[in-house]
Copies of this chain bind each other. A is one copy, B any other.
Amino acid sequence: MPVDGRVARGDATRRVVLRRAVDVASVDGLEGLSLGRLATELELSKSGVFALFGSKEELQLATVEAAFGIFEAHVVAPARTVEPGLPRLWAICENWLVYSEERVFPGGCFFFNAGAEFDARPGRVHDAVAAASGSFATFIRETAADAVALGHLDADAEVLAFELHALGRAANADAVLNGGTRAYALARRAIRSRLGQNP
């Protein structure tokens, strides 16, 4: 099949729009997205951008999917290369804190913000955000269960996973709201209390 130049250009435009959309949404929320504003800021044709996404809700759903890909590449994929159990659990926590600290998204963790924004608003965007958060929560829980099964830790895996996820999110919340790095230091001390020394 010959390469279709229009399709290739459409894919490239879509990537450019979504990279900008995830950054905007991490600061102004998914409701702060506007196809018209994105087109203007990126100096693209409005009709072209509208044709690619169709509606604000489609843009929001595509933005959640793009953000999840970036999140997985920074936090989940590198942790999967670490040996199972406690070492992988440490890697998840540390990757998550660095992902927040380095502001991979300028407004801090994308899913912290999107979760708070859509938690009480039923619909397709809520469901996409809940699925992404749930997938990460499951990854932490399974890794914690492996750590217990392998004898690396003596803990209730479900409670431990909940605590670790809570500590990361609180560090992100406090650091983005108040600035500074104190919240990350507190989270790391609490994580060390739960997991012991970083192996």
Contacts and interface: CB of A to CB of B under 8 A. Distances in A.
Interface of A: 26-29, 31-32, 106-108, 112-113, 115-121, 126, 129-130, 133-134, 137, 156, 158-159, 162-163, 165-167, 169-171, 173-174, 176-178, 183, 186-187, 189-190, 193
Contacts of A187: 162, 166
Contact of A167 (B121, B166, B171): B166
Given A159-B186, A159-B190, A166-B169, A117 B119 contact: no
26 contacts: A29-B29, A31-B31, A108-B119, A112-B173, A115-B116, A115-B177, A116-B173, A117-B117, A120-B176, A126-B177, A129-B177, A130-B177, A133-B177, A134-B178, A159-B186, A159-B189, A159-B193, A162-B167, A162-B186, A162-B187, A163-B166, A163-B167, A165-B170, A166-B187, A166-B190, A169-B169
A130 B178 contact: yes
A88 to B, nearest CB: 21
Main secondary structure, interface of A, reads: helix
Contacts of A121: 27-28
A162 B176 contact: no
Contacts of A108: 119-120
B134 A162 contact: no
B120 A189 contact: no
B159 A166 contact: no
Contacts of A31: 29, 31-32
Nearest to A27: B120
The listed residue with most B CB atoms (<10 A of its CB), out of A107, A116, A133, is A116
Given A156-B189, A170-B170, A176 B119 contact: yes
A186 B178 CA distance: 27
Nearest to A155: B193
A183 B162 contact: yes
